[in-house]
Homo-oligomer: A and B are copies of this chain.
Amino acid sequence: MPTRFWSVTSGRAFVGRLETGSDLVEEIERHCAEQGITAAQVTAIGAVRRARFAYYEQDTHQYRELESGSHHEITGFVANVSLRDGRPFLHAHATFSDADGQTLGGHLLPGIEVFAAEVMIREFAGVALVRQHDEETGLALW
Protein backbone atom coordinates (compact mmCIF):
# COMPACT_ATOMS: atom_id res chain seq x y z
CA MET A 1 0.00 0.00 0.00
CA PRO A 2 1.25 3.53 -0.73
CA THR A 3 2.43 5.80 2.08
CA ARG A 4 -0.50 7.60 3.65
CA PHE A 5 -0.76 10.03 6.53
CA TRP A 6 -3.93 11.06 8.34
CA SER A 7 -4.33 14.32 10.21
CA VAL A 8 -5.65 13.63 13.71
CA THR A 9 -6.63 15.63 16.75
CA SER A 10 -6.04 14.80 20.39
CA GLY A 11 -8.73 12.84 22.19
CA ARG A 12 -8.67 11.72 25.78
CA ALA A 13 -5.49 10.80 27.63
CA PHE A 14 -4.99 8.26 30.39
CA VAL A 15 -2.14 7.28 32.68
CA GLY A 16 -2.34 4.01 34.53
CA ARG A 17 -0.52 1.35 36.47
CA LEU A 18 -1.11 -2.33 35.79
CA GLU A 19 -1.70 -4.96 38.47
CA THR A 20 1.16 -7.30 39.33
CA GLY A 21 0.47 -10.62 37.62
CA SER A 22 -1.78 -9.16 34.92
CA ASP A 23 -1.19 -9.68 31.18
CA LEU A 24 0.55 -6.62 29.72
CA VAL A 25 -1.12 -6.60 26.30
CA GLU A 26 -4.56 -7.80 27.39
CA GLU A 27 -4.75 -5.37 30.32
CA ILE A 28 -4.13 -2.36 28.07
CA GLU A 29 -6.62 -3.68 25.50
CA ARG A 30 -9.19 -4.21 28.26
CA HIS A 31 -8.93 -0.58 29.35
CA CYS A 32 -9.30 0.57 25.74
CA ALA A 33 -12.35 -1.62 25.24
CA GLU A 34 -13.96 -0.34 28.45
CA GLN A 35 -13.37 3.27 27.46
CA GLY A 36 -14.19 2.88 23.78
CA ILE A 37 -10.68 3.84 22.69
CA THR A 38 -10.17 2.67 19.09
CA ALA A 39 -7.19 4.77 17.97
CA ALA A 40 -4.35 5.81 20.24
CA GLN A 41 -0.63 6.06 20.85
CA VAL A 42 0.63 4.03 23.81
CA THR A 43 3.83 3.84 25.79
CA ALA A 44 4.85 1.91 28.89
CA ILE A 45 7.66 1.58 31.41
CA GLY A 46 8.13 -1.15 33.98
CA ALA A 47 9.22 -4.71 34.51
CA VAL A 48 7.85 -8.13 33.65
CA ARG A 49 8.11 -11.60 35.17
CA ARG A 50 8.26 -13.28 31.79
CA ALA A 51 8.37 -11.99 28.22
CA ARG A 52 6.70 -13.36 25.15
CA PHE A 53 7.14 -11.80 21.74
CA ALA A 54 7.54 -12.59 18.07
CA TYR A 55 9.62 -11.97 15.00
CA TYR A 56 7.78 -11.78 11.70
CA GLU A 57 9.32 -13.86 8.91
CA GLN A 58 8.95 -11.40 6.05
CA ASP A 59 9.50 -14.05 3.38
CA THR A 60 7.17 -16.78 4.67
CA HIS A 61 4.65 -14.39 6.27
CA GLN A 62 4.70 -16.29 9.55
CA TYR A 63 5.37 -15.16 13.09
CA ARG A 64 8.19 -16.91 14.92
CA GLU A 65 7.30 -16.95 18.61
CA LEU A 66 10.02 -16.25 21.17
CA GLU A 67 9.91 -16.12 24.92
CA SER A 68 12.00 -15.64 28.02
CA GLY A 69 11.11 -16.93 31.45
CA SER A 70 13.49 -14.46 33.09
CA HIS A 71 12.55 -11.22 34.76
CA HIS A 72 13.08 -8.16 32.57
CA GLU A 73 12.96 -4.39 32.60
CA ILE A 74 11.17 -2.68 29.69
CA THR A 75 13.79 -0.39 28.09
CA GLY A 76 11.97 0.54 24.88
CA PHE A 77 8.28 0.53 23.94
CA VAL A 78 6.47 1.71 20.80
CA ALA A 79 2.77 0.99 20.32
CA ASN A 80 -0.57 2.06 18.96
CA VAL A 81 -4.20 1.04 19.25
CA SER A 82 -6.43 0.43 16.25
CA LEU A 83 -9.49 -1.66 15.45
CA ARG A 84 -9.00 -5.30 14.47
CA ASP A 85 -11.99 -7.59 14.04
CA GLY A 86 -14.13 -4.87 15.61
CA ARG A 87 -12.16 -4.63 18.84
CA PRO A 88 -9.33 -2.40 20.13
CA PHE A 89 -6.04 -4.08 19.23
CA LEU A 90 -2.69 -3.14 20.76
CA HIS A 91 0.17 -3.28 18.28
CA ALA A 92 3.25 -3.06 20.50
CA HIS A 93 6.98 -3.73 20.16
CA ALA A 94 9.35 -3.60 23.10
CA THR A 95 12.94 -4.01 24.19
CA PHE A 96 13.58 -5.94 27.43
CA SER A 97 16.76 -5.95 29.53
CA ASP A 98 18.01 -8.70 31.84
CA ALA A 99 20.04 -8.93 35.06
CA ASP A 100 23.26 -8.18 33.18
CA GLY A 101 21.77 -5.32 31.18
CA GLN A 102 21.64 -7.40 28.00
CA THR A 103 18.62 -6.74 25.79
CA LEU A 104 16.21 -8.62 23.56
CA GLY A 105 12.83 -7.84 22.08
CA GLY A 106 10.23 -8.04 19.37
CA HIS A 107 6.52 -7.83 18.59
CA LEU A 108 4.59 -8.30 21.84
CA LEU A 109 2.24 -11.23 22.31
CA PRO A 110 -0.29 -12.01 25.02
CA GLY A 111 1.38 -13.93 27.83
CA ILE A 112 3.68 -11.20 29.17
CA GLU A 113 3.24 -11.21 32.93
CA VAL A 114 3.45 -7.77 34.53
CA PHE A 115 5.61 -7.21 37.61
CA ALA A 116 4.96 -3.45 37.58
CA ALA A 117 4.00 -1.27 34.62
CA GLU A 118 3.12 2.38 34.12
CA VAL A 119 1.20 3.08 30.93
CA MET A 120 0.32 6.22 28.97
CA ILE A 121 -2.48 6.22 26.39
CA ARG A 122 -3.14 9.21 24.09
CA GLU A 123 -6.31 8.82 22.06
CA PHE A 124 -6.49 10.05 18.46
CA ALA A 125 -9.75 11.72 17.47
CA GLY A 126 -10.92 12.27 13.93
CA VAL A 127 -9.58 9.06 12.44
CA ALA A 128 -10.62 5.42 12.15
CA LEU A 129 -7.68 3.01 12.03
CA VAL A 130 -9.08 -0.34 10.92
CA ARG A 131 -6.72 -3.26 10.30
CA GLN A 132 -7.27 -5.34 7.18
CA HIS A 133 -5.24 -8.00 5.45
CA ASP A 134 -2.47 -6.64 3.23
CA GLU A 135 -1.47 -9.08 0.50
CA GLU A 136 2.07 -7.81 -0.01
CA THR A 137 3.23 -8.13 3.60
CA GLY A 138 0.76 -10.71 4.90
CA LEU A 139 0.07 -8.35 7.82
CA ALA A 140 -3.12 -6.73 9.06
CA LEU A 141 -2.44 -3.07 8.34
CA TRP A 142 -4.46 0.14 8.64
A85 on the B face (CB < 8 A): no
Contact between chains at A17 and B76 (CB < 8 Å): no
Select which of B8, B39, B71 is within 8 A of A14 by beta carbon.
B8
Contact between chains at B75 and A58 (CB < 8 Å): no
Select which of B3, B43, B64, B105 is within 8 A of A16 by beta carbon.
B3
Contact between chains at A95 and B116 (CB < 8 Å): no
Interface residues of A in 1-53 (CB under 8 A from B): 1-10, 12-20, 22, 27, 31, 35, 39, 41, 43-45, 47, 49, 53
Measured CB to CB, the closest approach of chain B to A94, in angstroms, equals: 6
Q: How many residues of A contact B (CB 8 A)?
A: 78
Closest to A43 in B: B78
Interface residues of A in 84-111 (CB under 8 A from B): 91-95, 97-107
Contact between chains at A93 and B74 (CB < 8 Å): yes
Residues of A whose CB lies within 8 Å of any CB of B are 1-10, 12-20, 22, 27, 31, 35, 39, 41, 43-45, 47, 49, 53, 55-58, 64, 66, 68, 71, 73-80, 91-95, 97-107, 115-116, 118-121, 124, 127, 129, 134, 136-137, 139, 141-142
Interface contacts beyond A8-B15, A97-B104: sample of 4 additional A-B pairs, CB < 8 Å, sorted by A = A3-B22, A7-B12, A44-B78, A116-B139
